[in-house]
């Protein structure tokens, strides 16, 4: 490390993305990407004429995309801010609403980036343990007077809190911001965005990475009251006003124009998820019903780290989190049925069934 790196960053923990090895043609079931391509409308939209338009700056207000998203959700453009992946929406949340005097809480087992941001910005935080079965104890979050982040559905558990519980958490913490990270909303059909009309302390974050097949384009957004969105926009304008590139904005617009394509493909992924769940259970594996495009599975009698290695040797990547509470599990993205059959065949072999 360079001697010039600020002392502020001593002992820093960086986010570790899912691996992307290039030595063979892997089936990637490790980062919750889609096995399907973006809609043909997206591909049409990214053309030579638009590449020529890269000579000018992108629309810093992302007006067209905000309007399309607002229409889709029955909201106004002023209720939406567009971000460079939803990770940037998280970053804006930390910069806008979190500081040394405003503590933060989130579950002990959840998306790893929350902890990375909290450490990076030196925000006092607490990781509230999930129940034994990875469910959230809602009372832990009610009336606590702290900022809150909850991924809903949570990852990697795949478990979903019903809207009544979300509302109770939001309503009982009126002086703090509650961020609901809905990266997987389209795989369960539930979203809390309507509650943003009633509660000015609720921020709902969504992404185009998981259910709109644009992970590489880096596109996300946040929904909230006019005031809360304005606060995020101040951060955006102070750090990176042209935060989303022109091609990505076009891809996002075209994907909203072809909404039905995505909803149909998401239904397909959900069908493959139920199929995979059933097959795994038949082999004796233990897993919850997932609300995301992944399953979180325990293989009794099998060392999960070894199963991960065996899958990788067979050109299938899955995610293994080596922490005390998750070390017996694999998180497996739902691919096509053909991909899942290959995965299931190797699991059957590992479990000798």
Contact residues for ligand PLP, defined by CB under 6 A: 32, 85-87, 111, 151, 155, 181, 183, 207, 209-210, 215, 220
32 vs 302, which CB is nearer to ligand PLP? 32
Cβ atoms 299, 264 nearer than 8 A = no
Chain residue at closest Cβ approach to ligand PLP? 85
> Cα separation of 203 and 250, whole Å?
25
158 vs 302, which CB is nearer to ligand PLP? 158
Instruction: Dig out the tokens for 34 from the structure.
Output: 């889609």
Q: Please state the closest distance from residue 155 (CB atom) to ligand PLP, in A.
A: 5
Bridge partner residues of 80 (DSSP): 223
> Cα separation of 258 and 266, whole Å?
13
Q: Cis peptide before 36, with omega less than 30 degrees from 0?
A: no
Contacts of 105 (CB under 8 A, 6+ apart): 125, 126, 127, 128, 141, 144, 146, 147, 148, 149
E-state strands within 109-235:
125-128, 147-151, 178-181, 202-207, 220-223
210 vs 350, which CB is nearer to ligand PLP? 210
Q: Please state the closest distance from residue 84 (CB atom) to ligand PLP, in A.
A: 8
Q: Please state the closest distance from residue 72 (CB atom) to ligand PLP, in A.
A: 17
148 vs 344, which CB is nearer to ligand PLP? 148
Bridge partner residues of 128 (DSSP): 107
232 vs 302, which CB is nearer to ligand PLP? 232
Can you say whether residue 184 is alpha, beta or left, with left for phi > 0 and alpha for psi between -120 and 50 degrees? alpha
DSSP 276-333: HHHHHHHTT-EEPPPSSSEEEEE-TTS-HHHHHHHHHHTTEE-B---STTTTTEEEEE
115 CA to centre of own chain: 14
Q: Please state the closest distance from residue 189 (CB atom) to ligand PLP, in A.
A: 17
Bridge partner residues of 333 (DSSP): 294
111 vs 141, which CB is nearer to ligand PLP? 111
Count CB neighbours of 58 within 10 A: 18
206 vs 350, which CB is nearer to ligand PLP? 206
Q: Please state the closest distance from residue 18 (CB atom) to ligand PLP, in A.
A: 10
32 vs 225, which CB is nearer to ligand PLP? 32
Consecutive H or E run containing 80: strand 80-83
Cβ atoms 297, 156 nearer than 8 A = no
113 vs 199, which CB is nearer to ligand PLP? 113
Q: Label residue 229 exposed, middle or buried (CB < 10 Å: 0-12, 13-18, 19+).
A: buried
């Amino acid at each position: 490390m360079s001697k010039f790196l600020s002392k502020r960053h001593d002992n820093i923990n960086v986010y570790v993305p899912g691996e992307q090895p290039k030595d063979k043609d892997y089936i990637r079931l490790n980062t919750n990407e889609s096995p399907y391509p973006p809609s043909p409308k997206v591909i049409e939209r990214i053309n030579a004429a638009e590449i020529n338009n890269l000579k000018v700056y992108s629309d810093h207000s992302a007006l067209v995309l905000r309007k399309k998203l607002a229409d889709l959700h029955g909201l106004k453009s002023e209720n939406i801010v567009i971000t460079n992946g939803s990770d940037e929406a998280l970053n804006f949340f930390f910069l806008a609403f979190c500081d040394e005097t405003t503590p933060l809480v989130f579950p002990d087992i959840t998306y790893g980036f929350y902890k990375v941001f909290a450490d990076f910005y030196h925000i006092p935080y607490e990781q509230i343990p999930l129940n034994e079965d990875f469910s959230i104890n809602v009372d832990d979050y009610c009336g606590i007077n702290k900022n809150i982040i909850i991924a809903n559905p949570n990852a990697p558990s795949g478990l979903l809190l019903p809207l009544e519980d979300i509302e109770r958490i939001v309503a009982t913490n009126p002086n703090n911001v509650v961020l609901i990270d809905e990266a997987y909303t389209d795989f369960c059909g539930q979203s809390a965005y309507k509650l943003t009309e009633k509660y000015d302390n609720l921020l709902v974050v969504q992404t185009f990475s998981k259910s709109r097949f644009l992970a590489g384009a880096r596109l996300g957004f946040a929904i909230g009251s006019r005031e809360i969105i304005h606060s995020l926009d101040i951060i955006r304008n102070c750090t990176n006003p042209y935060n989303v590139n022109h091609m990505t904005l076009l891809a996002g617009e075209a994907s909203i124009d072809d909404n039905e394509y995505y909803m149909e493909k998401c239904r397909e992924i959900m069908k493959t998820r139920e199929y995979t769940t059933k097959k795994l259970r038949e082999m004796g594996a233990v897993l919850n019903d997932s609300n995301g495009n992944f399953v979180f599975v325990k293989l009794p009698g099998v060392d999960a780290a070894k199963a991960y290695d065996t899958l990788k040797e067979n050109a299938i990547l899955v995610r293994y989190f080596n922490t005390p509470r998750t070390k017996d599990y694999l998180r497996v993205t739902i691919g096509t049925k053909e991909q899942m059959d290959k995965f299931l065949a190797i699991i059957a072999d590992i479990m000798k069934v």
